[in-house]
Amino acid sequence: MKVLVFGSGGREHALVWKLRQSPRVSKVYCAPGNGGICRQAECALADVKSLDSLLSVARQLKPDLTIVGPELPLTLGVVDEFTTRGWPIFGPTKAAARLESSKSFAKSFLQRHHIPTAHYAICNSMDDVIDALPHFSPPVVVKADGLAAGKGVVIAKSKEEAASVATEMLSGRMLGEAGSRVVLEECLEGDELSFLVFSDGERVAPLVAAQDHKRVGDGDTGPNTGGMGAYSTANLIDDQMRDWLVNHIARPVVTGMKDEGSEFKGVLYCGLMMTARGPMVLEFNCRFGDPETQPILMRLDSDLLEAIEASIEGRVSDGDFRWSSEASVCVVMSSGGYPGTYDTGKKIVGLEEASRMEGINIFHAGTTERDGAFYTSGGRVLGVTARAADLPAAVKRCYQAVFSIGFEGAHYRTDIAARALQK
């Protein structure tokens, strides 16, 4: 079976790595891929912002199955286009992907279906913001309605700051069209949890939970990023909590989407805050998380292809996954300056030595290969991922590998999973 993966990040590298282990996969393609992926899959040029480009790649490669990494093609309707043509593809339709592409849709949906989430107000204008602000106490979370690659959320310390951020968003100056509507939200406190499930439109099967580290700096300081590291352990949540999250969040979402005529198939990523009032939904993504996928797939002992087929064919069940009880950790190495501006083209050294270390996988994100050497080409460059018997061992192993890799201006957090280790 020939499988095509769309995307070019660490998440896609992890998907390619895992799919290659599937006994029924004879060939893995990736479009456009990156330096590391192109060592493990046949890469094809593609622009994930263009449906025409993706359709043309698929027409040329004729995969038996396509898996979509990033959100943009999903929200543009790549699944709808493939399905019309009878081409098997894993992911939600454009209508179902609104759970990620419109925060106002997601919040109203949660309210309609009585699924726990922060208090909010949807604002189409500054008049709406001025009317809504008295109902919030600071800090106030201001969110752009549309896709903003992790840059669409500001936690404003005062109402004045919230109003000024909302002005910037609504004017289009801050995030363009994505900010033409904003959502104000109550600020929640607690530990964040990434809870992903596979769905076939009706049933759900949870993956192991993971925790992301979104801020760029140690101690959760500095601006939000796409994610600077993540870990997954068997005791991040217990069975009772997992069942609660399935019964009160994931399944009601899938049932609600079906009832509303937008069946959700694919990966539903529930971004949760574990508050004193119980778990609450911060956001949905309609795809695998990055970097959560790297540690999650490192713990998957069963066949990823089988689980994906179960989703497409409408027979998802808990038995689709077999997980290791070991722990896994991913530390992202980024270009200095990310998530702001940064330089690229820096030579990466130490990769071979690090990849030979036991229990280590180095998933590439922003890299290119030239004459047998790897160079940086993006903000997040590598996701160094370790699996070991327990979390302390996995963290130690992961940083040993990170320390042996270098490139000019390299940045990484030194405290991935540190809070869990303290507990």
Residues interacting with ligand AMP, by CB under 6 A?
118, 141, 143, 153, 155, 185-188, 192, 214, 224, 271, 282-283
Give the tokens for residue 207.
């993956």
Whether the Cβ atoms of residue 234 and residue 325 lie closer than 8 Å to each other: yes
**Contact string 242-281 vs ligand GLY (x = CB under 6 A):** ----------------------------------------
What's the min distance (Å) between Cβ of 221 and ligand AMP?
13
Instruction: Using the minimum distance from each CB to ligand GLY, give the nearer residue, 81 or 100.
Output: 100
The item of ligand AMP, ligand GLY, none sharing an interface with residue 55, based on CB under 5 to 8 Å by kind, is none
The item of ligand AMP, ligand GLY, none sharing an interface with residue 303, based on CB under 5 to 8 Å by kind, is none
The helix or strand, by DSSP H or E, that contains position 405, with its residue range, turns out to be none
What's the min distance (Å) between Cβ of 260 and ligand AMP?
21
Whether the Cβ atoms of residue 354 and residue 362 lie closer than 8 Å to each other: yes
- Runs of H (alpha helix) within 288-372: 293-298, 304-312, 351-355
The item of ligand AMP, ligand GLY, none sharing an interface with residue 290, based on CB under 5 to 8 Å by kind, is ligand GLY
Nearest Cα to Cα of residue 194 among 301, 290, 96: 290
Does a cis peptide bond (omega within 30 degrees of 0) precede residue 23? no
| Stretch touching ligand GLY by CB under 6 A, among 103-111, 175-183, 285-293, 376-384 | 285-293
Q: 3-state DSSP call for residue 313?
A: coil
Total residues in contact with ligand GLY, by rule CB under 6 A: 6
292 is a site residue for ligand GLY (CB under 6 A): yes
Instruction: Using the minimum distance from each CB to ligand GLY, give the nearer residue, 145 or 292.
Output: 292
Among 81, 145, 290, 320, binds ligand GLY (CB under 6 A): 290
Give the tokens for residue 285.
């993504």
Whether the Cβ atoms of residue 170 and residue 195 lie closer than 8 Å to each other: no
The item of ligand GLY, ligand AMP, none sharing an interface with residue 369, based on CB under 5 to 8 Å by kind, is none
Nearest Cα to Cα of residue 386 among 326, 303, 319: 326
**Contact string 358-397 vs ligand GLY (x = CB under 6 A):** ----------------------------------------
The item of ligand GLY, ligand AMP, none sharing an interface with residue 197, based on CB under 5 to 8 Å by kind, is none
12 is a site residue for ligand GLY (CB under 6 A): no
Is residue 214 exposed (0-12), middle (13-18) or buried (19+ Cβ within 10 Å)?
A: middle
227 is a site residue for ligand GLY (CB under 6 A): yes
First-last CA distance in the chain = 45
The item of ligand GLY, ligand AMP, none sharing an interface with residue 118, based on CB under 5 to 8 Å by kind, is ligand AMP
Nearest Cα to Cα of residue 327 among 360, 289, 295: 295
One-letter amino acid at 309 equals E
| Radius of gyration of the chain from its Cα atoms, rounded to whole angstroms | 21
Q: Rounded CA gap, 11 and 294, in Å? A: 6
What's the min distance (Å) between Cβ of 212 and ligand GLY?
4
One-letter amino acid at 107 equals K
Instruction: Using the minimum distance from each CB to ligand GLY, give the nearer residue, 285 or 361.
Output: 285
Instruction: Using the minimum distance from each CB to ligand GLY, give the nearer residue, 263 or 290.
Output: 290
The item of ligand GLY, ligand AMP, none sharing an interface with residue 285, based on CB under 5 to 8 Å by kind, is ligand GLY
The helix or strand, by DSSP H or E, that contains position 245, with its residue range, turns out to be helix 239-245
Q: 3-state DSSP call for residue 38?
A: helix
List interacting residues with ligand GLY (CB under 6 A). 212, 227, 285, 289-290, 292
